[in-house]
Amino acid sequence: MILIADRTKKLSDLLSGCSGFELAHIHCESFSAAVDCAQKNRIRLAIVTRDLSDRHGFELLSYFQLHFPQVPVIYVSDDSRKETIISAMRRGARDFFEWPVERASLLNSIRRIEIISPKKVPISSIPPDRTSKNTNSDIESQPSVSAGPEENFDIEVYFFGNFRCVANGRGLDHWPSKKGKSIFAYLVYNDSKPVFREDLIDRFWPKIFPEPARNCLNVAIHHIRQVFQGTGIKEKVILLSNNCYVINHKLRISSDVKRFLTYWNKSRFLKVDNRVGPVVNELELAASLYHGDFMQDDRFEEWTISERENLREVYLEILENLSRIYSLDGKPKAAIELCKSIIEKDDCREKVHRRLMLCYHRIGERDHALRQFQKCKEILKRELDVGPSASTVDLYRKIRDDTLSIPRIQ
């Protein structure tokens, strides 16, 4: 029996009476009804939508992962952002579809899941990504590190997206000056390493004479300290020692960038040990922290530019590795959505275009695979004035002539 958890009956209506849909299915509008159904019936597969009448679909995904891990779940949502896809996969989803979904594609996924082994692809069987310098991603098993801080921090700093700071549980929405906010961010980002006073002056007041610039820095530091004292933090947030400013080491400070890089680096070491499950776990945790480019509301601060590009490159490599593993682990639809997210940020990544072609081929969408080659060809010509590589052309010809050896998933 297939369980369909959907506040509306759109999915049930979509599948009812269609040729080849021979399994009986039951429709549940709420989390509680779906749980009751799963406890009383032998469920072979579940299809869960984001909107249930009483709870979010993610909660039902997590419930199945904990209590019925043997039941494969397909997640359907009108939100196809990469954060949603990765969150669904971390909660055990075997496939992801954006609503509205094509009936044929959903039926293919149901049939595919029925024949695919639940075992994960061994890391040794995943072809090496020769142009990538790292590995990443997370799977539903063995969450070695939690997605958020494991302890209570005095200050939590969020660099991805618009810069945010929480002190003693209170969000700092108003800073005395944009310059003061940027100085604090710079000191935290440097991992509490001492920074010479002259370096701060040269970086933030490069066109002002030394004495006025020193006064500006003193005023900015004073205002930063006042902001945090107003949240109940008794210790001085910024200390001056030996002509250097440094974040007070007595304070417990959490940074999303630091956690992001920790997960990413850990995934690289785990890959060496051929441990695909924990590798995917760390990569997904890293990807879940990236809520936008580094300090995207301060794009013209000079010191943020190179860091923004470096972190963006790491993030794209994480998505590339995740899409590669998903594509080989029976999740081509999820891989397709991640590849699209990558191309939105960097459309010249030819290997991502190839992966899209392969994934489309695997799910029987030959026309999409051929069109993807044409898009790749046009983009490379327009942006780089080059043509596709021999490997991309060869893949295109094999798909066009229906001679590709990789079997399609029917």
Q: What is the mean pLDDT of residues 65-92?
A: 86
How large is the average pLDDT for residues 186-210? 90
136 has pLDDT over 60: no
Please provide the DSSP assignment of 15-84 as one string: HTT-TT--S-EEEESSHHHHHHHHHHS--SEEEEESB-SSSBHHHHHHHHHHH-TTS-EEEEES---HHH
What value does the mean pLDDT take over residues 355-368?
92
CATH number for the domain harbouring residue 168: 1.10.10.10
pLDDT at 122: 37
Shared domain for 162 and 224, answered yes or no, is: yes
**Cβ contacts of 272 within 8 Å, gap of 6 or more:** none
User: 374-377 — which CB contacts under 8 Å span 24+ positions?
Assistant: 376/350
DSSP state of 118: S
71 within a domain of the structure (yes/no): yes
User: Listing from the earlier edge strand, what are the strands of the sheet with 45-49?
Assistant: 25-28, 2-5, 45-49, 73-77, 93-98
CATH number at residue 64: 3.40.50.2300
- Of 40-49, 115-124, 156-165, 345-354, the one with minimum mean pLDDT is 115-124
For the cut 70, the answer to whether the pLDDT of residue 269 exceeds it is: yes
Reduced to 3 states (helix: H, G, I; strand: E, B; else coil), residue 264 is: helix
- Flag whether 93 is in a domain: yes
Distance CA 98, CA 85 (A): 10
Last residue of one domain, picked from the residues 189, 216, 251: 251
Same domain for 7 and 111? Answer: yes
pLDDT bin (cut points 50, 70, 90) of residue 95 is confident
Cβ–Cβ < 8 Å for 47, 76: yes
The reply to whether 404 falls in a domain is no
How confident is the prediction for the chain on average, in pLDDT? Answer: 84
| More confident of the two residues 370 and 103 | 370
Is the pLDDT score of 324 beyond 50? yes
Q: Model's pTM, two decimal places?
A: 0.70
Of 235, 251, 267, which marks where a domain is finished?
Answer: 251
β-bridge partners, 51 = 56
Contact 376, 352 (CB under 8 A): no
Does any domain span residue 410? no
Higher pLDDT, residue 152 or 285: 285
- Quote the tokens at residue 205: 């007041």
41/63 Cα distance (integer angstroms) = 16
pLDDT (0 to 100) of residue 29: 92
User: Of the residues 251, 282, 303, which one is the last residue of a structural domain?
Assistant: 251
Q: Rounded distance, CA 219 to CA 261, Å?
A: 33
In a domain, 59, yes or no: yes
What are 24-41's pLDDT values in tens digits? 788 999 999 999 999 988
Q: Which two tokens stand for residue 135?
A: 């590995």
Instruction: Please count the structural domains in the chain.
Output: 2
Q: Is residue 63 part of a domain?
A: yes
Q: What is the mean pLDDT of residues 159-187?
A: 92
Rounded to whole angstroms, the Cα distance separating 132 from 267 reads: 13
Q: Which three-class secondary structure state does DSSP give residue 9? A: coil
Domain that holds residue 211: 155-251
Please name the helix (run of DSSP H) or strand (run of DSSP E) that holds residue 329, with its range, or none: none
Residue 391: per-residue pLDDT: 94
- 100 within a domain of the structure (yes/no): yes
